[in-house]
Amino acid sequence: MSASVKRERANRSGSGSGWLPAIYLAAPIAWLVAFFIAPMVILLVVSFQKADVFTGLGSFTGWSNYTAFFSDHAQLRVLLSTAIITTASMALMLALSLPIAYLLAFRVGRWELPLLLLLVVADELNPLIRVYAWRMLLGRDGILNSFFQLVGLVQHPIAILLFSKFAVVLVMSMEFLTYTMIPIYAALKTVDPSLLDAANDLGARLPVTLRKILIPLAAPGIFVAIILVGIPMLTEFVTPALVGGTSAYMIGNSIEDQILESGNWGVGAAMSFLMLVISAVLALVAYRVGKLNRLETAA
């Protein structure tokens, strides 16, 4: 067979296989358009309409649904409270995740995989069950208060343990701890253990090693964790409703009330879309900071 015939057959087979990637991607792209992009478009359209549970979709009202949110000082206070609770929860999760990821990556040896699987399996428990378990633990007549009174640490139950911002921060931190720890663990696994040995030989203590070596090298995992966990926490409404009470009312609870209680679909859709925009901005900032950190580390 001549070389020209072989080239012609190769070109034909190459041109035919060029459709394969499009065929493979057609189903997931169609799924993404139908169940993600289309609902987002509907949400955006409804946010510009006068829409409620009684009259359904009405006329377009421009930016009135958005201005109604920003002109409501109570809603802005709820948004500020949400930012504070989310930031505190993320700080606590990072403070717990870094040492756990360090121990799993460098110190537990052959127990590394079993412990990691145990954390993942424990996190697969129904979130609602976990929240109610925390209520049993933190309540006025719960396990912690009963123990503190039994050993004489307190005379009366500690009310702040439940139905407070403290309770929401604690429960949300534990709820998303595994999702925060795994990206950091994955980033630490790329660190050469000889760097830690060298730091130890030079007399660096663990806090210095964490600050100078591990945290900078784990920064990409930290930023992935912030995106993966921080965005869902912004719109969390189950945990604040069950363990926060009125003192830890978050923006997710407000959106739920606008849509389900007040039936104000337009304002609820506007608030939801605003949270989507804020989440996208946070993701972009985290990505840029992580990219800059990788460039600095490479340099």
Its sign, for the CA torsion 181, 186, 188, 189, is positive
Q: What is the pLDDT of residue 135?
A: 92
- Give the sign of the dihedral formed by CA 162, CA 163, CA 166, CA 171: positive
Residues 77, 84: Cα–Cα separation, whole Å: 11
Beta bridge mates, 49: 60
Averaged pLDDT for residues 132-158: 91
pLDDT over 90 at 181, yes or no: yes
Mean pLDDT for the chain overall: 85
15 pLDDT more than 90: no
What pLDDT band is residue 201 in, cutting at 50, 70 and 90?
confident
Question: pLDDT by residue (tens digit) across 18-66?
Answer: 677 778 788 888 888 888 889 889 889 889 988 777 667 777 888 999 9
Confidence of residue 252 (pLDDT cuts 50, 70, 90): very high
Q: So what CATH class is 48-298?
A: mainly alpha
- pLDDT category at 192 given cuts 50, 70, 90 is confident
What residue segments make up the domains of the chain, in order of their start?
1-39, 48-298
Q: Rounded mean pLDDT of 175-197?
A: 89
What is the DSSP-derived secondary structure letter of residue 263? -
Q: Give the per-residue pLDDT at 12.
A: 56
Q: State pLDDT tens for residues 259-278.
A: 888 888 889 999 999 998 88
Tell whether the model's pLDDT for residue 9 goes beyond 60.
no
- DSSP per-residue letters across 186-241: HHHTTS-HHHHHHHHHTT--HHHHIIIIIHHHTHHHHHHHIIIIIHHHHT--HHII
pLDDT of residue 146: 92
Q: What is the mean pLDDT of residues 137-158?
A: 91
What is the share, in percent, of the chain residues with pLDDT greater than 70? 89
Does 190 have pLDDT greater than 60? yes
What's the pLDDT score for residue 22?
Answer: 77
Answer yes or no: is pLDDT of 96 > 60: yes
